[in-house]
């Protein structure tokens, strides 16, 4: 029996769920399991749970019948060893599974037209070709729209240590039926010279390097401040649970803050809802590039096993995760989630100039993180909890650029590429964006919350403002879903706060948390473009919806090859009331990336994120009662002249 109703499925439970589906449903011998995850129980059961209670464990299964091309949502009772439900979901396609990658590469390389295309480009060694299957988005032909398709981009690997994406084989595009695993055709739009730069980035290949950085050790002689019990974490006044799903990856559950002995809820569930990367280049078939990394693929399965001292530094606690492969077998991913503390400079400080005495407290934050490799890009998903009640989300973008070869017409004209930039003499880093959407199931002192938009109010000069200095704020309650598609307005310092109007602090404030958006962008694709028809959620920086346990992904659950939603833009048409009810925030962040030479051959980390800050949640600074830090004077062993000092 599991110790908590939100604990992820174990390897044994995944195996049992697979066995029940195969035993009780006739879905063909070539059945694929897109995902097997915990069917999370309702909030009332979770909140009422006490240690030792009997709980019913259920698995939620998405199964794909490769023979019939049908997708089923299945609920399995682990305890009763039986099916609870099975529902055919018509008109959708399963995401692209890792198990299909090897099959795609094999059938493509065996196709004679592909070999001819390679030979035209001077390539005769198939072992030097990397075939990367991609989603077709909503660009399938009318005749092929009912098929589950992949188009592939191919790369020349001159040497095993080459950057995999440095030498694109431009214009040679295999189209594959994933269900039958047959190549439908090889599209060849003509030979483009293969870039010369190998894009080497491994240390052993680079030759002369800087001397190593001076060793930096993070020591906690008394051990870390956090305590881990299964999937529950307690740190300072914070308490929460760590989860993980095949689609979303890292999930945080039931975040609460202990305020002078009272356990106060803040967020019920926080997760990445979608990450989509649309490209702006019109060359070749690159107009089709807009990968929904959670929807077209299975994002959680791309999680890395982390390494002490490289991915995380200090006193570390790792969480392993267990996922399913495409055949329904459990796969253990060790060290998939990293938990540790970081010093974060000054938290608060004041020097009393009358007494010349200083009070200072150092900030520390708890870090919960995972890293995911999706093809060429690597994404770090980081959650930070702070001593003063702040919560931060940060995505870290690194890895390889998805680039194209410079075309012959561009080479002959001598003009720079119009929708990208040269990152190597014959390689174009294409213009693109990254949109992250984070789902925040808020629970500020309970589930009956309201969302308020707050922005600056400028008062014109006049009798009430003779000196022109008056300014305040305007607060607007978001009453319904149709009115709750909102955008950042930095010139007005706009933010949104989630409050509980059934309580007040000692000063009369409704307890709340405010969402402070970071820098973002508006959509670059035109309103009726194929991308925007699929990704309507990027139209606004914030959406607010009434809670629905089945609405977890901003563009809907089944994105692969869809034309429109369902997703947030369709859900809000229902126009459910939002005031003083269970609300969900959906925050979209965008980064426009015009690649630089400095981004090649591997990209330094780019950051995007937001903050959640208490506003009226506490009566005063919640970090006021921190004990003073132990001050130590560290003397350098060397002076500025490099000589040792005694």
Longest pairwise C-alpha distance within the chain: 86
Token digits of residue 529: 């473009």
The yes-or-no answer on residue 293 being catalytic is yes
Distance CA 169, CA 186 (A): 13
φ, ψ for residue 572, nearest 5 deg: -75, -15
Distance CA 300, CA 329 (A): 15
Q: For the chain, how big is the Rg over CA atoms in Å?
A: 27
Distance CA 594, CA 591 (A): 10
Token digits of residue 21: 């589906």
CB 244 within 8 A of CB 251: yes
- Catalytic annotation, pick one of 293, 378, 441, 599: 293
Token digits of residue 105: 């590469």
DSSP 247: T
Distance CA 279, CA 277 (A): 7
| CB neighbour class for 312 (10 Å; exposed up to 12, middle 13-18, buried from 19) | buried
CB 530 within 8 A of CB 621: no
Residue 479's CB is within 10 A of a number of other CB atoms, namely 14
The residues, ordered by sequence, that sit 6+ positions from 135 with a Cβ below 8 Å of its Cβ are 96, 150, 151, 291, 292, 296, 297, 560, 561
| Coil vs helix vs strand at 498 | strand
Distance CA 409, CA 407 (A): 5
Q: Which among 508, 510, 490, 515 has a CA at the least distance from the CA of 500?
A: 510
The yes-or-no answer on residue 435 being catalytic is no
Cα separation values, 276 from 91, 413, 533, 542, Å: 22, 33, 13, 16
| Coil vs helix vs strand at 206 | helix
The residues, ordered by sequence, that sit 6+ positions from 577 with a Cβ below 8 Å of its Cβ are 479, 480, 546
- Catalytic annotation, pick one of 96, 268, 279, 377: 377
**Catalytic residue ranges:** 293, 377
């Amino acid at each position: 029996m599991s110790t908590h109703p939100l604990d992820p499925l174990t390897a044994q439970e995944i195996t049992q769920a697979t066995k029940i589906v195969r035993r009780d449903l006739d879905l063909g011998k070539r059945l694929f399991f897109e995902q097997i995850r915990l069917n999370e129980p309702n909030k009332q059961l979770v909140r009422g749970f006490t240690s030792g209670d009997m709980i019913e464990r259920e698995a939620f299964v998405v199964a794909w019948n490769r023979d019939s091309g049908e997708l089923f949502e299945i609920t399995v009772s682990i305890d009763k060893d039986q099916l609870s439900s099975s529902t055919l979901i018509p008109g959708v396609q399963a995401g692209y599974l890792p198990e299909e990658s090897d099959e795609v590469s094999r059938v493509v390389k065996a196709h004679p037209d592909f070999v001819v295309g390679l030979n035209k480009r001077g390539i005769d060694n198939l072992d030097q070709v990397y075939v990367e299957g991609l989603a077709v988005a909503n660009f399938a032909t009318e005749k092929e729209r009912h098929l589950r398709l992949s188009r592939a981009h191919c790369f020349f690997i001159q040497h095993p240590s080459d950057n995999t994406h440095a030498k694109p084989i431009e214009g040679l595009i295999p189209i594959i039926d994933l269900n039958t695993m047959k190549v439908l055709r090889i599209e060849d739009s003509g030979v483009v010279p293969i870039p010369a730069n190998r894009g080497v980035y491994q240390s052993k290949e680079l030759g002369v390097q800087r001397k190593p950085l001076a060793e930096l050790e993070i020591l906690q002689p008394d051990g870390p401040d956090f305590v881990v019990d299964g999937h529950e974490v307690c740190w300072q006044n914070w308490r929460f649970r760590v989860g993980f799903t095949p689609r979303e990856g890292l999930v945080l559950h039931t975040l609460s803050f202990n305020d002078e002995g009272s356990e106060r809820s803040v967020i019920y569930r926080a997760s990445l809802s979608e990450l989509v990367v649309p490209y702006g280049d019109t060359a070749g078939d690159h107009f089709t590039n807009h990968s929904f990394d959670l929807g077209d693929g299975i994002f959680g399965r791309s999680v890395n096993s982390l390494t002490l001292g490289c991915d995380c530094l200090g006193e570390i606690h790792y969480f392993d995760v267990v996922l399913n492969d495409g055949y329904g077998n459990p796969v253990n991913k060790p060290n998939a989630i990293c938990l540790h503390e970081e010093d974060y400079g000054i938290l608060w400080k004041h020097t009393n100039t009358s007494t010349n005495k200083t009070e200072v407290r150092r900030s520390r934050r708890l870090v919960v993180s995972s890293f995911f490799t999706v093809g060429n890009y690597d994404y770090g998903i980081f959650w930070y909890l702070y001593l003063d009640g702040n919560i931060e989300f940060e995505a870290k973008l690194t890895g390889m650029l998805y680039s194209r070869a410079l075309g012959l017409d561009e080479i002959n004209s001598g003009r720079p590429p119009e929708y990208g930039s040269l990152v190597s003499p014959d390689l174009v880093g294409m213009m693109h964006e990254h949109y992250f959407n984070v789902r925040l199931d808020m629970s500020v002192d309970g589930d009956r919350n309201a969302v308020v938009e707050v922005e600056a109010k400028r008062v014109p000069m006049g009798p009430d403002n003779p000196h022109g200095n008056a300014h305040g704020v305007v607060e607007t309650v978001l009453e319904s879903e149709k009115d709750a598609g909102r955008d950042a307005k930095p010139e007005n310092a706009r933010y949104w706060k989630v409050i509980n109007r059934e309580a007040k602090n000692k000063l009369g404030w409704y307890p709340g948390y405010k969402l402070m958006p970071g820098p973002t962008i508006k959509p670059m694709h035109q309103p009726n473009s194929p991308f925007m028809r699929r990704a309507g959620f990027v139209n606004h920086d914030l959406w607010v919806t009434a809670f629905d346990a089945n609405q977890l992904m901003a563009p809907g659950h089944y994105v692969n090859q869809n034309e429109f939603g369902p997703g947030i833009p369709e859900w809000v048409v229902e126009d459910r009331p939002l005031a003083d009810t269970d609300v969900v925030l959906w925050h979209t962040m965008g980064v426009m990336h015009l690649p630089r030479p400095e981004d090649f051959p591997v990209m330094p980390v780019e950051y995007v994120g937001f903050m959640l800050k208490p506003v009226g949640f506490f009566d005063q600074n919640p970090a006021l009662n921190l004990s003073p830090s132990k001050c130590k004077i560290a003397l350098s062993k060397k002076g500025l002249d490099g000589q040792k000092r005694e």
